[in-house]
Amino acid sequence: MRFDILTIFPDLLASPLTEGIIRRAIQDGKVEIAIHNIRDFAADKHAMTDDRPFGGGEGMVMKPEPLAATVQHVREQVPGGKVVLLSPQGRTYDQALAQELASEPRLILVCGRYEGVDERFRDHYVDLEVSIGDYILTGGELAALVLVDSIIRLLPGVLGCADSAANDTFSRGGLKYPQYTRPRVFEGDEVPEVLCSGDHAAVSEWRLLAAVRQTLNRRPELLATMAFNSQEEKLLKKHGLLDAVRERQRGARSE
């Protein structure tokens, strides 16, 4: 998979893309990442990429010509690619969208800045607008890194354990079960006995129940997207959790 990131501050992106899983994915040839400086495609001698908004108002707006020229340049290098604008006005990013984007062979991520981009660039060049949450950043660079990191870990062979992505928090809609490691006793608290039993079926049941309890206690709204098979529903009922889960799901559907 290839990522092309368009920004006016390329140095903001350099270090995070050379660490950890991202670095290994690049070294293993599973991912290509190219950073493009939008200023290189500005037409004037001052390399201006922004200007004051028509009609007045605060701040500056990113000009359409340098943005369009950068997109055209990267598509001349490698044809195609879905253009994604990082913007607070976009579709809210979640695990489902991460999985959707992971199926793309190439993403062109445009990092917005200032008061946004000229609407004509959005109309003519942007395929998808994405927001990582209802808050404002100084620019789209951090949001682009969030997309890159969350998508790369979904690609086959990137994670050391093939089941890691499938069992992550949000992978089935809710939160993940609590995790424990050595030492077995820490500040008087002992690891749940079942996790040391070697009984894989019992561990799986414990983890499902713990994940549902965790979700009920911390993020109950997520239960609306969780699905359970008949065996799992029987287990939840046995432990007095099924009614609470169904109540939350009915409430979400009625909203």
Q: What would the pLDDT profile of 49-81 be if each residue is shown by its tens digit? A: 999 999 999 899 999 999 999 999 999 999 999
Q: What does residue 42 show for φ and ψ, rounded to 5 degrees?
A: -75, 140
Count H helices, E strands: the chain?
Answer: 9, 9
* Same domain membership, residue 96 and residue 216: no
Of 104, 149, 168, 233, catalytic: 168
* Same domain membership, residue 113 and residue 32: yes
Please report whether residue 163 resides in a domain.
no
Q: What would the pLDDT profile of 102-139 be if each residue is shown by its tens digit? A: 999 999 999 999 999 999 999 999 999 999 999 999 99
Q: What is the pLDDT of residue 90?
A: 95
Of 50, 66, 88, 113, catalytic: 88
Please report whether residue 227 resides in a domain.
yes
Please report whether residue 167 resides in a domain.
no
Q: What is the pLDDT of residue 225?
A: 84
Q: What percent of the chain has pLDDT over 90?
A: 87
Domain boundary among 129, 152, 175: 152
* Same domain membership, residue 224 and residue 119: no
Report DSSP letters for 140-165, one per residue: SHHHHHHHHHHHHTTSTT-SSSTTTT
Answer yes or no: 141 catalytic.
no
* Same domain membership, residue 221 and residue 114: no
Q: Looking at the chain, how many residues does it have? A: 255
Answer yes or no: 79 catalytic.
no
- Select the more confidently predicted residue: 29 or 58: 29
Please report whether residue 176 resides in a domain.
no
* Same domain membership, residue 144 and residue 46: yes
* Same domain membership, residue 10 and residue 124: yes
Domain membership of residue 143 as a residue range: 2-152
Q: What would the pLDDT profile of 204-225 be if each residue is shown by its tens digit? A: 999 999 999 999 999 999 998 8
Answer yes or no: 168 catalytic.
yes
Q: What is the CATH number of the domain that holds 59?
A: 3.40.1280.10
Please report whether residue 193 resides in a domain.
yes
The mean pLDDT of 225-240, rounded to a whole number, is 94
* CA dist., res. 61 & res. 141, Å (int): 16
Q: What is the pLDDT of residue 161?
A: 65
Answer yes or no: 115 catalytic.
yes
Cβ-proximal residues to 56 (8 Å cutoff; 6+ apart), any chain: none
Q: What is the CATH number of the domain that holds 232?
A: 1.10.1270
Question: How much is the mean pLDDT over the chain?
Answer: 93
Of 65, 115, 149, 205, catalytic: 115
Domain boundary among 152, 171, 205: 152
Tell which phi-psi region holds residue 213, choosing left (phi > 0), alpha (psi between -120 and 50) or beta.
Answer: alpha
Q: What would the pLDDT profile of 164-216 be if each residue is shown by its tens digit? A: 665 555 667 889 999 999 999 999 999 999 999 999 999 999 999 999 999 99
Of 2, 39, 75, 153, catalytic: 153
Handedness of CA 192, 195, 196, 197 (dihedral sign): positive
